[in-house]
């Protein structure tokens, strides 16, 4: 097992409202999961994933329950998940995951963010071929026999396993699997009574673009601009 290096944005561009943004994102994900599979987490793996991620960002339990109840109502919003593609300055590829109740508004805003940040919005498929959609689970290594766990999870679709550091400088074990094996790996962990710190579907770059510090700052400003949009859930890039 080696070290997994995660491509992520520089922390100097973190915003004061990051926690509120995370709560909003998870609330939308709960809405989508409940409408697709119902409000019982025992029978809805997507909802279980949302609830795990809510716990990882300290989202209050009553707020999670309120989001589930709201999603079960008849008058709640319907969100569409839409992926937008484009390029930041210096040839860095960008994928923008959104959850929106108004795609016309969202595409106009995303295009504006790209233009103002010195990038350009692309068409479907213009960027995504440089990424691989994968399930990503982060585990607390405490009490785990890592070598045994790795062997046991291969049959459940495990492709990569390694050590990393989270945004709080804590050591974590990162598991990656193909998008289609997400449910299998999730169930395998549940069967072993292992609760992930987080479990996400992420776009992992297959190639990265080297940049210097000045270029990285310019690109990070565009990413920050995109992330501040209320309709944007996540932004992925291949900046090295």
**Do 165 and 52 share a structural domain?**
no
Give the pairing of strands 171-178 and 131-139.
antiparallel
Residues 22 and 62 in one domain: yes
**DSSP 3-state of 237:** strand
Residue 6 domain flag = no
33, two tokens: 């999961």
Shared-domain flag, residues 158 and 184: yes
In a domain, 9, yes or no: no
> Based on the structure, what is the number of domains in the chain?
3
Domain annotation covers residue 8: no
Q: Residue 163 and residue 119: Cα distance in Å, rounded? A: 33
Give the CATH number, domain containing residue 115: 3.30.70.980
Q: Per-residue pLDDT for the chain (240 aa), expressed as one digit of tens each?
A: 666 666 544 443 344 356 778 899 999 999 999 999 999 999 999 999 999 899 888 899 999 999 999 999 887 888 999 999 999 999 999 999 999 999 999 999 999 999 999 999 999 999 999 999 999 999 999 999 999 999 999 999 999 999 998 777 889 999 999 999 999 999 999 999 999 999 999 999 999 999 999 999 999 999 999 999 999 999 999 998
> 27 is in which domain, residue-wise?
16-72
* 24 & 60 share domain: yes
């Amino acid at each position: 097992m080696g070290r997994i290096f995660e491509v992520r944005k520089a922390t100097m561009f973190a915003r004061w409202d990051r926690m509120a943004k995370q709560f909003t994102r998870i609330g939308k994900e709960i809405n989508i999961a409940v409408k697709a599979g119902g409000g019982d987490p025992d029978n809805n793996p997507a909802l279980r994933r949302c609830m795990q991620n809510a716990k990882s960002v300290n989202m209050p339990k009553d707020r999670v329950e309120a989001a589930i109840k709201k999603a079960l109502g008849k008058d709640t919003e319907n969100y569409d998940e839409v992926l937008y593609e484009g390029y930041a300055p210096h040839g860095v590829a960008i994928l923008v995951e959104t959850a929106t109740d108004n795609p016309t508004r969202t595409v106009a805003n995303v295009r504006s963010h790209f233009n103002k940040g010195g990038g350009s919005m692309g068409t479907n498929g213009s960027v995504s071929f440089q990424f691989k959609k994968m399930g990503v689970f982060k585990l607390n290594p405490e009490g785990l026999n890592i070598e045994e766990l790795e062997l046991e999870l291969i049959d459940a679709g495990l492709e990569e396993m390694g050590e990393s550091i989270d945004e709080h400088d804590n050591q974590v074990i990162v598991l990656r699997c193909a998008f289609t094996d997400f449910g299998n790996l999730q169930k395998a962990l549940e069967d072993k009574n292992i609760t992930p710190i987080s479990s996400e579907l992420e776009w992992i770059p297959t190639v990265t673009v080297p940049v210097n510090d000045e270029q990285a700052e310019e690109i990070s400003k565009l990413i920050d601009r995109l992330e501040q949009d209320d309709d944007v859930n996540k932004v992925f890039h291949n900046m090295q």
